[in-house]
A and B are shown apart, each in its own frame.
Chain A
Amino acid sequence: MAMDMDNMLQMIRDRQWALADIDWDAPGADLIEPELWAKLKPFMSDLMWIENVGARGFAALAKKAPTPTLKSIYEHFHAEEQKHANAELALMRRWGMLDNDEIPAPNVNVQLVINWLDRYSDDMKLSFLGTVIPMLEVALDGALIKFITDEVKDPVAQEVFRRINSDESRHLAVDFEVMDILGQADIRTLLIELVGGWIKPTFLIGVLSYFPLLNKMRDNIVAMGVDEERLYQAMRRYRSVGERSAFTRRLPMYRIVSWQARKVIDRTSKYHWLADSLVVATNLIPMPLVHRTPTWSQELTYEPVA
């Protein structure tokens, strides 16, 4: 049954929470063991920046929304992803991970995605953004949050990630509903959009930024001593939920993203030769060469009150 978007928007409005609702000084910060603390610091930084990247993705989606209600939903998701990033930053501060209370810089792969989103995301079609952003949410956001919820015992973190998870469940519900709607377009339109999108050099730059980001995060998870299968489980979810809708299956971009997800999961695939090479290559890029801080990436804050 089709989702009632007006009801969804109302639900989103009714379930709002703020950083001020959380007692950031509550006991439990010391429950993180030193070994985990050291690994968690870069992990949290990546997670926070991925939320920020997701926020920018929803901002681009809001520009493409076909109805005022969906536009408003995406505007809320844009802000909620920012809230998640702010809350994760506040957790890092609680755990003493911010040197001089400064916001950590993104890694080079996230930076490349930031740069791409800043320049090109507003020019992308809804059928492209609407299929890639759910994958980012499922794979990165979802997997990382699941991991951290399992590993970190701090009750404040548990509360924060419970709230974030609740928000994300609504994001994903809308994401898949929109894919279902997009899949109802006639096949000719879908194919024209597909070809039109892929022949854009800017999109190919985006693809080349996105591939290594996934593998880099996989490497980070492995480096933390976590089974990469957790990431793969999340990526399988994209496909298992998407396959439920005949319309979503008709979306060429869904098929491509889904195919890519299968390749990521298959460690023996030649895809990894490309993606891992890109990770190595991107690591060689001097950060000052790509480091840009668009205004939207400077709005992160750990302060509940401004």
Chain B
Amino acid sequence: MTISVAIIGAGFAGIGAAIRLKDRGITDFVIYERDTRVGGTWRDNTYPGAACDIPSHLYSYSFAPKPDWSHTYSGSAEILDYIDHMVESSSVAEHIRFGHTVNGVAYDAEAGEWIIDFAEHQPVRARCVIVASGPLSNASFPNIPGIDDYEGHKIHSARWDHDYDFSGKRVAVVGTGASGVQIIPELVKVADSVKVFQRTPGWVLPRLNARTSGLFKRILTDVPLAQKAVRAAWYWGHESVALGVVWDTPLTRLVETLSTANLRLQVKDPWLRRQLTPDFSAGCKRLLMTSEYYPALQADNCKLVTWPIARLSAKGIRTVEGIEHQFDAIVFATGFDVSKSGTPFRITGVDGRDLASEWSRGAFAYRSVAVSGYPNLYFTFGPNSGPGHNSALVYMEAQIDYIVEAISKLFQFGWKALDVRPEAQHRYNENIQQRLQSTTWNSGCQSWYLTEDGFNATMFPGFATQYVNQLKTVDLDDFKITAAQSQSGLVPAG
């Protein structure tokens, strides 16, 4: 049996794609999820203080509005509730198959079908595949010498151990990125001592997280236009930030000045300020939105350590200044294994071509969603789709709608395959890479946005509006269309 669409991953993107497929009348789809519940990143990131740094009214789908967010920036539990609510209200739950870990997908060109291979189950055939496994789904401990020698408790921010009691414990936090700056203030409240190991400081801006009043919630519930207006205000506010974050402009200096003033206001000690001052352009790495981080660092039971880490020992962390810092637990807030040059699983396209090999020097795609030689296979958060200044959900929604439109056309016209023309893909990427040269991300700083060779396979060099516009219509001139043969028995499902 062949299903119409296989969606891999039941995170924000997978659930969103399922809802939009249903809206188009395509119901013959299955979501394959390796875990036992939906939620993706927000299922995994349940560390204390976990929250989104984009306002909730913008960090949500426009087709699934939620007027009663509790705060301007909601915590992970509320975001997970939102995803659960979407699943319930759209009845996509029946389409989800948990405990399905995809080992690989391979294209059967003759049949115009993808064969999906699982670790635990029999393979399945699907006409189309949406790879919605996301870039932030694989977390692992960092490659620090001696990491296996450490005998204390090791916790990764994306695999939080809720059974571990931090009260009275000596704790280390390795990493001061988006997760680290949220975890540290919470740990400082309960632990006996917290040492924060920083490699590179980030630009920090205050985050004013107000509780939403009952009146405001009622207005947004009763007046949908008001909710749209709030979303639009946040959207355009963030769009304007692109001028200072995506490109190195005088506004970048303004962002840096504001961040420096914030640091100066909150941190009195000049040496600590020096340790916390970044030496790269704002925007080159993700801006850190927090008002709690600097005060937490200066708490009596907290200390910032900027000495390079030499290795882990049985009892703690040895830094290059020769001291062994001993701990009961080490928290690794070191982010995710972002796939910039590989694929989340084996993807075999036309004539046995292997996508991981093609991407070995950096991933690329057509408008971030499709790759030539891999017909009817689409990515959410594919290459060069990352926002540096706006909501990932805005980008995701545009990708989903584009993918659903392409799939609808395939079924509507009874085609066998839609495959991006290599020249269209090449033209697109040449343009993207050229535009990336003038962005802050390619300005010389090292970040997870770049491969080791400095290739930027993650970010989109422009406004969210530009990104959304390029995905507004499926330009069939850029695709090679293979018509279905009558004997193939391929019947559109929707």
The answer to the question of B477 belonging to the interface, with a C-beta cut-off of 8 Å to chain A, is: no
- A306 x B324 contact (CB < 8 A): yes
Chain B residues, Cβ within 8 Å of A72 = 308
- A304 x B323 contact (CB < 8 A): yes
Chain B residues, Cβ within 8 Å of A18 = 310, 318, 322-324
Shortest C-beta distance, B352 to chain A (Å), equals 36
Q: How many residues of A contact B (CB 8 A)?
A: 28
1/0 per residue, CB under 8 A from B, across A286-301: the answer is: 0000000011100101
Chain B residues, Cβ within 8 Å of A294 = 270-271
A75 CA to B307 CA, complexed, in Å? 8
- B321 x A86 contact (CB < 8 A): yes
The answer to the question of A182 belonging to the interface, with a C-beta cut-off of 8 Å to chain B, is: no
Q: Choose among B307, B310, B319, B321 the residue with the greatest number of A CB atoms under 10 Å from its CB.
A: B321
- Contacts known (A16-B318, A63-B279, A122-B274); A86 close to B323, Cβ less than 8 A: yes
Shortest C-beta distance, A49 to chain B (Å), equals 15
Chain A residues, Cβ within 8 Å of B318 = 16, 18, 20
Shortest C-beta distance, B266 to chain A (Å), equals 16
Shortest C-beta distance, B381 to chain A (Å), equals 27
- Give chain A interface residues in 32-63, CB to chain B under 8 Å: 63
1/0 per residue, CB under 8 A from B, across A1-39: the answer is: 000000000000100111110000000000000000000
- B325 x A306 contact (CB < 8 A): yes
Q: Choose among A13, A295, A301, A306 the residue with the greatest number of B CB atoms under 10 Å from its CB.
A: A306
How many B residues are at the interface, by size bracket? 20 to 34
- B310 x A16 contact (CB < 8 A): yes
- B320 x A80 contact (CB < 8 A): yes
Q: Which of B315, B316, B446 is within 8 Å of A68, CB to CB?
A: B446
- B272 x A86 contact (CB < 8 A): no
Chain B residues, Cβ within 8 Å of A304 = 322-324
- Contacts known (A18-B310, A68-B446, A72-B308); A305 close to B322, Cβ less than 8 A: no
- Which A residue's beta carbon lies closest to that of B323? A306
Q: Choose among B272, B316, B323 the residue with the greatest number of A CB atoms under 10 Å from its CB.
A: B323
The answer to the question of B163 belonging to the interface, with a C-beta cut-off of 8 Å to chain A, is: no
A118 CA to B323 CA, complexed, in Å? 23
- A79 x B269 contact (CB < 8 A): no
Shortest C-beta distance, B304 to chain A (Å), equals 10
Q: Which of B270, B311, B321 is within 8 Å of A83, CB to CB?
A: B321
The answer to the question of A213 belonging to the interface, with a C-beta cut-off of 8 Å to chain B, is: no
Chain A residues, Cβ within 8 Å of B260 = none
The answer to the question of A87 belonging to the interface, with a C-beta cut-off of 8 Å to chain B, is: yes
- Contacts known (A82-B321, A294-B271); A13 close to B310, Cβ less than 8 A: yes
The answer to the question of B326 belonging to the interface, with a C-beta cut-off of 8 Å to chain A, is: yes
Q: Which of A19, A76, A295, A305 is within 8 Å of B308, CB to CB?
A: A76
The answer to the question of A303 belonging to the interface, with a C-beta cut-off of 8 Å to chain B, is: yes
- Which B residue's beta carbon lies closest to that of A20? B324
A49 CA to B286 CA, complexed, in Å? 38
A179 CA to B320 CA, complexed, in Å? 25
Shortest C-beta distance, A12 to chain B (Å), equals 9
- B326 x A295 contact (CB < 8 A): no
Q: Choose among A16, A80, A303 the residue with the greatest number of B CB atoms under 10 Å from its CB.
A: A16
Chain A residues, Cβ within 8 Å of B320 = 16, 76, 79-80, 83
Shortest C-beta distance, A23 to chain B (Å), equals 14
- Contacts known (A16-B311, A79-B308, A82-B307); A295 close to B271, Cβ less than 8 A: yes
Shortest C-beta distance, A13 to chain B (Å), equals 7
Chain A residues, Cβ within 8 Å of B311 = 16
Chain B residues, Cβ within 8 Å of A118 = 270
Beyond A18-B323, A68-B446, A303-B323, 20 additional pairs, beta carbon < 8 A: A16-B320, A17-B322, A18-B322, A19-B323, A19-B324, A72-B308, A75-B308, A76-B308, A79-B319, A79-B321, A87-B322, A118-B270, A294-B271, A295-B270, A304-B322, A305-B315, A305-B325, A305-B326, A306-B325, A306-B326
Chain B residues with CB under 8 Å of chain A are: 145, 269-272, 274, 279, 307-308, 310-311, 313, 315-316, 318-326, 446
